[in-house]
Amino acid sequence: MPQYTRPIQNVIDGFSSLPGIGSRSAERIAFHLLKLPTDEAMKLARAIDELKTRVTHCRVCSNLAEKGHDEQRPLCDICDDTRRDRSMVCVVEQPKDLLALESTGLWNGLYHVLLGRIAPLDGIDHEDLTLRDLEERLAAGEIAELVLGTNPNLDGDSTSLYIQELIRTSYPSVKVTRLARGLASGTQIEYANRSVLEDAIKGRQTLR
Ligand SMILES: [Zn+2]
């Protein structure tokens, strides 16, 4: 199959390797970029460059955070916010879930982002999550309530159970709650609407 000249083909290959972009769309994007004024096209190149060089995970909660000039392991905006209640921590699977809960404006505690869920069928176990960091936070003794905000599905529930068990055996003084089941089973937190998330936070249930 004939190929475009290399710089164009590289861009097409790059875009078509992204999720949801087929080779036709990749081709359209490449030609669109070719037509754009250099400045505008380079904005995208710089944005990708910044994404890869500036964005990292918070050293405490693993939320997304921006590296400072001399700070390779920064705090995220939430951990850095002294008005937050540091005794309450909501555990979520991904930064997207954190953003969904933040959009309600109802949670004034901190978060812990697991960066995944325990999913034996996909070969993901507790070692692959940020549970060691969570344990460090629990051991520091500042956390009074841990709210389990994993997704209400099979993997989310087993992840929740694992954490409950960890707390029960090693940190029995920490209260454990979970987001209320207004979140229907199978719902994904990142797609739930605001009122459902409000109910889930306000009506959270104590697990023991
Ligand atoms: Zn953080």
Per-residue pLDDT of 132-174, as tens digits, reads 999 999 999 999 999 999 998 889 999 999 999 999 999 999 9
Are 207 and 164 in contact by the 8 Å Cβ rule? The answer is yes
pLDDT per residue over 75-134, tens digit each? 999 999 999 999 999 999 999 999 999 998 989 999 999 999 999 888 888 889 999 999
Residue with tokens 């002294």: 82
3-state SS class at 175:
strand
Q: How far is the CA of 60 from the centre of ligand 1 (A)?
A: 5
CB atoms within 10 A of CB 162: 16
Q: How far is the CA of 64 from the centre of ligand 1 (A)?
A: 8
Q: How far is the CA of 156 from the centre of ligand 1 (A)?
A: 21
CA distance 32 to 43: 14
Q: How far is the CA of 155 from the centre of ligand 1 (A)?
A: 24
Q: How far is the CA of 51 from the centre of ligand 1 (A)?
A: 18
* Angstrom distances, CA of residue 71 to CA of 25, 55, 56, 75: 38, 11, 11, 9
Q: How far is the CA of 199 from the centre of ligand 1 (A)?
A: 24
Q: How far is the CA of 36 from the centre of ligand 1 (A)?
A: 38
Q: How far is the CA of 205 from the centre of ligand 1 (A)?
A: 24
| First-residue to last-residue Cα distance in the chain | 64
